[in-house]
């Protein structure tokens, strides 16, 4: 054993050993000249599955999907130059949505860095705005520390992406690794425990509140505190609304669920939070798609804001009680003091709003209605199914109508809003959970962005199910054209595409539906199929408001400017209540 420990190995083999030590079981990567050494070492690993996507962006999004589904850092790998730059969109997505990721890149040899060598790219510099930290490893001896720290940084505090760049000569260098060396890690771990005084202040405000609301975001998912949130709601009886990143943290069939708020959120959720006297903001960032006109958002409410990232507190909205610390610990402390609140009148009022402004859509008759497809899929799919989406109308309809019950069952590029996310993210989640149903609900525009990953599904036998809501348009952009540009089409018509035929060319089982009565049996056949599947759902893009994602709050406006599901402006049909 001692002789084995003192044996010289190449840097590339040390990289793999360190990744194995970090618990990595899957890497999504595309080889090239500057990363070939790492790929050669990966062929010898007995612990790591190497998945070859058909584009580096697919690798990065697959790593995001793996991370979203598991909570563990996803790992992607690319060569230098164009391979590395193709990862950037996925890295930026991970940064925007606080997704733990370690991106590994090959680099040209250290001797030619800075000479504009073939496929040289300063990927550390290029990604500085969208990583938590980055490493350019300059000696083979630095490999263990760089990799170990990368995983610590990616997964602690507010999760996010870390880049590790390995020059080719460092991969090739022989050395005797020393794993016994103790390393100092000052400043790597953020403050975790919330201040007790702030906990007490928050609970004092809560006890006095008459119209409290919980505004829950992706931080609830990241901190694994969904159970603590549910316990807190059960104890107190406070209604809950979630951001798009928070979907699944609280069951949407619960009477106290207000579903999603914001630009395309439920009208009743936006009414409730803007008429609350206390907002418990848990793991949220008060982003513009939620607040609309910031100075008018919750202007009469006191705000308790809990976040692990101190820079988010008071960034957009001033908190009356700021609590910086781990959300799970904070909710545990809340639960120690929580008791049933006397807010029955408030809850009854909210229930009336829920009935008055319920989500709705046109009944399917001769044409397929996309919202109805999502509702039927939600009813048919297993309760633990993982749903991935691209970006556009289909994304918002899924958020509105699917009915999420559990955390880590919803994956969306929310902060960056990157088309092409859905298919590769579903691929990453399916590899993490091979026995669960994983479904990509996509639009034709988004699906085309990374359609090459169908070959990965076929080659690797990854049984992702794809439902393509196909209306021949960039639907969300066309909707904005209808609303704000007199329906002038500025290059938003895509033309017809037959995704069933494309899938068949890749050797994937597929079908097309064009009539409402075909939808349910087609969904059942898709869910029953053991391998990957593509269901092409064709429906027309409907002009003006029929077929739009509603409700909708125009950018920079308030909830009173919401266009309801009926196409009415809220302030024209509803009067702001006067509370005592």
Catalytic amino acids? 56, 118-119, 168, 476
Q: Give dist(CA 542, CA 545) in Å, integer.
A: 8
In this structure, what is the dihedral angle of CA atoms 546, 548, 551, 556, given to the nearest 10 degrees? -130
- Per DSSP bridges, beta strands 9-10 and 174-175 are antiparallel
Signed CA dihedral, 484, 486, 492, 498: sign only: positive
Rounded to a whole number of angstroms, the distance between the first and last alpha carbons of the chain is 76
Q: Measure Cα distances from 479 to 387, 493, 528 in Å.
A: 24, 12, 34
* CA–CA separation, 43 and 523 (whole Å): 38
Q: Where are the beta strands (DSSP E) in 184-340?
A: 212-216, 240-242, 257-260, 278-282, 302-307, 321-324
Under DSSP, the state recorded for 409 is: S
The whole-angstrom separation of Cα 182 and Cα 122 is 31
Residue with tokens 């919750």: 298
Query: How far apart (Å, rounded) are the C-alpha atoms in residues 454 and 440?
Result: 12
Q: Is 181 helix (H, G, I), strand (E, B) or coil?
A: coil
The region, left, alpha or beta by phi > 0 then psi within -120 to 50, assigned to residue 495 is left
Residue in the structure block whose two tokens are 């639907």 = 475
Distance, in Å, from the CA atom of 476 to the CA atom of 402, rounded to the nearest integer, reads 19
Q: What angle do CA 217, 222, 225 make, to 5 degrees?
A: 80
Nearest to 406 by CA among 378, 372, 443: 378
Handedness of CA 137, 140, 141, 145 (dihedral sign): positive
* Burial class for 486, CB neighbours closer than 10 Å (0-12, 13-18, 19+): exposed
**Euclidean distance between CA atoms 313 and 20, whole angstroms:** 37
Both tokens assigned to 18: 């360190």
Give the span between the Cα atoms of 241 and 80, in whole angstroms. 43
- In 3D, which of 147, 165, 188, 189 has the Cα closest to residue 22? 147
Length of the chain: 580
3-state secondary structure of 10: strand
Give residue for tokens 């920079």: 556
**What are 104's two structure tokens?**
């590994």
Say how far apart CA 152 and CA 134 lie, in whole Å: 12
Distance CA 402, CA 405 (A): 10
**Three-class DSSP category at 102:** strand
DSSP run (H or E) holding 393: helix 393-401
CB 83 within 8 A of CB 35: yes
Euclidean distance between CA atoms 369 and 391, whole angstroms: 18
């Amino acid at each position: 054993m001692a002789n084995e420990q003192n044996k010289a190995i190449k840097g590339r083999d040390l990289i793999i050993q360190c990744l194995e030590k970090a618990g990595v079981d899957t890497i999504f990567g595309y080889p090239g000249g500057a990363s070939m050494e790492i790929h050669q070492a990966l062929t010898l690993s007995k612990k790591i599955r190497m998945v070859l996507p058909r584009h580096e962006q697919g690798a990065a999004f697959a790593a995001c999907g793996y991370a979203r589904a598991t909570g563990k850092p996803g790992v992607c790998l690319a060569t230098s130059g164009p391979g590395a730059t193709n990862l950037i969109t996925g890295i930026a997505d991970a940064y925007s949505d606080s997704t733990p990721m370690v991106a590994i890149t090959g680099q040209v040899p250290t001797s030619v860095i800075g000479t504009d060598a073939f496929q040289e790219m300063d990927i550390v510099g290029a990604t500085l705005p969208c990583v938590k930290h980055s490493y350019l490893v300059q000696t083979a001896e630095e490999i263990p520390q760089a990799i170990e720290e990368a995983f610590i940084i990616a997964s602690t505090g507010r999760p996010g992406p870390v880049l590790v760049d390995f020059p080719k000569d460092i991969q090739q260098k022989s050395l005797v690794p020393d794993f016994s060396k103790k390393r100092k890690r000052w400043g790597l771990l953020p403050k975790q425990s919330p201040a007790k005084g702030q906990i007490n202040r928050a609970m004092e405000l809560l006890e006095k509140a008459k119209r409290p609301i919980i505004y829950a975001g992706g931080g609830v998912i990241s901190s694994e505190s969904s159970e603590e949130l549910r316990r807190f709601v059960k104890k107190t009886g406070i209604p809950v609304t979630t951001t798009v990143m928070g979907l699944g943290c609280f069951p949407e069939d619960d009477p106290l669920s207000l579903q999603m708020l914001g630009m395309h959120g439920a009208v009743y959720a936006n009414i409730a939070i803007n008429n609350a006297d206390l907002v418990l903001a848990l793991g949220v960032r008060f982003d513009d798609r939620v607040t609309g006109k910031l100075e008018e958002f919750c202007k009469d409410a006191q705000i308790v804001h809990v976040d692990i990232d101190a820079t988010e507190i008071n960034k957009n909205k001033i908190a009356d009680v700021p609590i910086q610390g781990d959300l799970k610990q904070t909710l545990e402390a809340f639960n120690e003091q929580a008791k049933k609140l006397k807010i029955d009148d408030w809850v009854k009022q909210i229930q009336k709003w829920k009935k008055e402004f319920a989500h709705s859509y046109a009944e399917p008759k001769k044409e397929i209605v996309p919202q109805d497809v999502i509702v039927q899929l939600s009813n048919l799919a297993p309760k633990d199914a993982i749903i991935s989406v691209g970006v556009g109308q289909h994304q918002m309809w899924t958020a509105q109508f699917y009915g999420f019950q559990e955390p880590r069952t919803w994956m969306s590029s929310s902060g960056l809003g990157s088309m092409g996310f859905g298919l590769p993210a579903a691929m990453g989640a399916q590899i993490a959970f091979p026995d669960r149903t994983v479904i990509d609900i996509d639009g034709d525009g988004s699906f085309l962005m990374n359609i090459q990953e169908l070959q990965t599904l076929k080659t690797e036998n990854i049984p992702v199910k794809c439902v393509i809501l196909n209306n021949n348009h960039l639907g969300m952009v066309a909707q904005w054209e209808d609303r704000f540009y007199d329906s002038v089409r500025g290059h938003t018509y895509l033309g017809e595409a037959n995704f069933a035929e494309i899938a068949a060319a890749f050797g994937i089982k597929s079908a097309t539906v064009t009539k409402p009565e075909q939808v349910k049996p087609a969904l059942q056949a898709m869910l029953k199929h053991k391998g990957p599947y593509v269901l092409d759902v064709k429906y027309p893009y409907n002009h003006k408001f029929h077929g739009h994602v509603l409700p909708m709050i125009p950018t920079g406006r308030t909830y009173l400017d919401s266009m309801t599901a009926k196409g009415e402006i809220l302030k024209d049909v509803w009067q702001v209540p006067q509370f005592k």
